[in-house]
Amino acid sequence: MDVVFHLAALIAIPFSYHSPDSYIDTNIKGTLNIIQAARDLGLERVLVTSTSEVYGTAHYIPIDEKHPRQPQSPYSASKIGADCIAESFYKSFDLPITIVRPFNTYGPRQSARAVIPTVITQLLNGEEQIKLGDLSPTRDLLFVKDTARGFIEIAQSSSLIGEDCNIATETEISIGDLAHEIISQINPKAVIVQDVTRIRPTKSEVFRLYGSAARIKEHTNWNANFSLTDGIAETISWFKDKNNLSHYKHDIYNI
């Protein structure tokens, strides 16, 4: 085995408020298990998946890899811990690690805990009042095919060993504007209503994510190929398949 892509994690931020211990066990200890095994086996390369949530609300934009880490939720704290464990193995044992940090990836098969499936599944099930939390936070949204290509490009770049590397589009959109884009593609008559149970604690909400792609572009041939409009359209198309849609419970708040 030449390259390990470590993507396993607990990802849902709301559930991390409920069961933070599970996030420590899975995200930190799980990462330790992977990189310890990689060291024992003498693997040529390990890509550890981080998250833009480790940056917290932007101090400056675009957010580059030097941005301060801010643990604004137990989830983000666990991912910061995992990143630090990985970095320590590079520095302590010369393990050939790269920490890959995708911004907000979306697309077919995404978890029902994410906002885009939440909006799409409500609309496709005929709801005309779309329940959401805070509409003001912004996100840098990355279509899953662009994310996957980013991982492959990074794996092929030896100059990124020992580094962390964003995958980002260098754009941002508010949750409200995102919801309106999805509504416009499915049912323009629908409206958004606020559901207070979906709002994060104020100090825990990440209000702005807008990533820099300078490093990945410097070291690879990667560029984002999908516009938000096209990526949303392909995602909606996948959800319109009744076999796919049937796996999602649109009428509950998935944490």
Residue 255 lies in a domain: no
Residue 11 lies in a domain: yes
What Å distances lie between residue 198 and 114, 134, 137, 155, 177, CA to CA?
Answer: 11, 8, 13, 37, 17
Asked if residue 167 lies in contact with residue 222, where contact means CB atoms within 8 angstroms, the answer is yes
Averaged pLDDT, 157-168: 98
The predicted-structure confidence for 176-230, as pLDDT tens digits, reads as follows 999 999 999 999 999 999 999 999 999 999 999 999 999 999 999 999 999 999 9
Whether residue 165 has pLDDT greater than 80: yes
pTM for the full model? 0.95
* Domain that residue 189 falls in: 3-245
The predicted-structure confidence for 74-126, as pLDDT tens digits, reads as follows 999 999 999 999 999 999 999 999 999 999 999 999 998 999 999 999 999 99
The predicted-structure confidence for 23-33, as pLDDT tens digits, reads as follows 999 999 999 99
Amino acid at residue number 158:
S
Can you give the CATH number for the domain in which 186 is found? 3.40.50.720
pLDDT at 253: 87
Residue 251 lies in a domain: no
Asked if residue 92 lies in contact with residue 153, where contact means CB atoms within 8 angstroms, the answer is no
Residue 40 lies in a domain: yes
* pLDDT, averaged across the chain: 96
pLDDT at 255: 78
Asked if residue 197 lies in contact with residue 255, where contact means CB atoms within 8 angstroms, the answer is no
Residue 253 lies in a domain: no
Residue 47 lies in a domain: yes
pLDDT at 1: 61
User: How much of the chain, in percent, has pLDDT values that exceed 70?
Assistant: 100
Residue 17 lies in a domain: yes
Residue 250 lies in a domain: no
Count structural domains, the chain. 1
The predicted-structure confidence for 36-70, as pLDDT tens digits, reads as follows 999 999 999 999 999 999 999 999 999 999 999 99
